[in-house]
Amino acid sequence: MSDEPLTQTTTKKPTRTTTAAPSPVPRQAGAMGSASAPEGGREATVPGRKVAVWLPRLLILGLVLAALNLRPAITSLGALLEEVRDGLHMSGSVAGVLTSVPPLCFAVFGITAPRLARRFGPAAVVFAGMTAIALGLAIRPFTGGTAAFLAASALALMGIALSNVLMPVIVKRYFPDRVGSMTGLYSMALALGTSLAAAATVPMTDALGGSWRTGLGVWAALAALAALAWLPLVCDRGRTAATAEGAVGRQTEGPAGGTGERGAAADRSAGAPTVRITRSRTAWALGVFFGLQATGAYITMGWMPQIFRDAGVSAGTAGVLLAVTMVMGVPLAFVIPRLAGRMKNQGPIVVALCLCGLSGYAGLFFAPAGGAWLWAVLLGVSNCSFPLALTMIGMRSRTGGGVVRLSAFAQSVGYLISIPGPMLVGALYQHSGGWDVPLALMAGLMVPQMAVGVLAGRDRTIEDEI
Which tens digits make up the pLDDT trace of 127-166? 999 999 999 999 999 887 888 998 999 999 999 989 988 8
pLDDT at residue number 43: 44
pLDDT, position 405? 84
Flag whether pLDDT at 261 surpasses 70. Answer: no
Neighbours of 430 (CB within 10 A): 14
Average pLDDT, the chain: 78
* pLDDT given for residue 364 in this prediction: 94
SS3 assignment, position 46: strand
Residues 6+ apart with CB under 8 A from 429: 92, 96, 303, 306, 435, 438
State the Rg of the chain over Cα: 23
Give yes or no for residue 372 having a pLDDT over 90: yes
Q: What is the DSSP letter of 142?
A: G
Which residues sit opposite 44 in a β-bridge? 51
More confident residue, 70 or 10: 70
Q: Is the pLDDT of residue 25 over 50?
A: no
- Identify the pLDDT of residue 168: 77
Would you say the C-alpha torsion 28, 34, 37, 38 has a positive or negative sign? positive
| pLDDT over 70, % of the chain | 79
CB atoms within 10 A of CB 312: 10
Give pLDDT, residue 466.
73
Q: In this structure, what are the phi and psi dihedrals at residue 46, rounded to the nearest 5 degrees?
A: -125, 165
C-alpha angle with apex 184: 285 to 101, nearest 5 degrees?
55
Which has the closest alpha carbon to 383: 449, 438, 462?
Answer: 449
Round to whole Å and give the CA distance between 213 and 76: 11
Length of the chain: 466
Alpha-carbon gap, residue 36 to 386, rounded angstroms: 32
Which of 417, 442, 423 lies closest to 94 in space, CA to CA?
423
Indicate the range of 44-48, 146-150, 303-307, 347-351 predicted with least confidence.
44-48
Model confidence band, residue 279 (pLDDT cutoffs 50, 70, 90) = confident
pTM (2 d.p.): 0.67
∠ at Cα 235 (232, 241), nearest 5°? 100
Residue 399: phi, psi to the nearest 5? -130, 165
